[in-house]
Amino acid sequence: MRITDQTEFNRVNVFGQGQENAAFARYFIGTSYLNPLTQPGQCPLALSNVTFEPGCRNNWHIHRAKTGGGQILICTAGEGWYQEEGKAPVSLEPGMVITIPANVKHWHGAKKDSWFAHIAFAVPGTETANEWLEPVDDAAYGALE
Ligand code: MN
Q: Is the pLDDT of residue 7 over 90?
A: yes
* Domain carrying residue 111: 6-142
- CA 58 to centroid of ligand 1, rounded, Å: 8
- The neighbourhood of ligand 1, an ion, using CB within 5 A, equals 71
Q: Is the pLDDT of residue 136 over 90?
A: yes
Q: What single DSSP character describes residue 44?
A: S
- CA 142 to centroid of ligand 1, rounded, Å: 20
pLDDT of residue 126: 97
Domain with residue 36: its CATH number is 2.60.120.10
Q: 48 — phi, psi (to 5°)?
A: -135, 145
Distance CA 100, CA 57 (A): 16
pLDDT of residue 47: 97
Q: Is residue 13 part of a domain?
A: yes
pLDDT of residue 40: 87
- CA 71 to centroid of ligand 1, rounded, Å: 6
pLDDT of residue 109: 98
Q: Please tell me the total count of domains within the chain.
A: 1
- CA 34 to centroid of ligand 1, rounded, Å: 14
- CA 94 to centroid of ligand 1, rounded, Å: 17
Q: What is the b/e burial string over 40-56, where b = at least 16 CB atoms within 10 angstroms of the residue's CB?
A: eeeeeeebbbbbbbbbb
Q: Is residue 14 part of a domain?
A: yes
Helices vs. strands in the chain: H and E counts, helices first: 2, 15
- Angle of CA points 74, 127, 64, to nearest 5°: 50
- CA 42 to centroid of ligand 1, rounded, Å: 24
Q: Is residue 1 part of a domain?
A: no
Q: pLDDT digit string (tens) for 9-57?
A: 999 999 999 999 999 999 999 999 999 999 989 998 999 999 999 999 9
pTM comes to 0.96
pLDDT of residue 143: 97
pLDDT of residue 14: 98
Beta bridge partners of 61: 106, 132
Beta bridge partners of 78: 116
Q: How many residues appear in the chain? A: 145
Contacts of 101 (CB under 8 A, 6+ apart): 70
Q: Is residue 86 part of a domain?
A: yes
pLDDT of residue 73: 98
Distance CA 138, CA 143 (A): 9
- CA 11 to centroid of ligand 1, rounded, Å: 26
Q: pLDDT digit string (tens) for 51-102?
A: 999 999 999 999 999 999 999 999 999 999 999 999 999 999 999 999 999 9
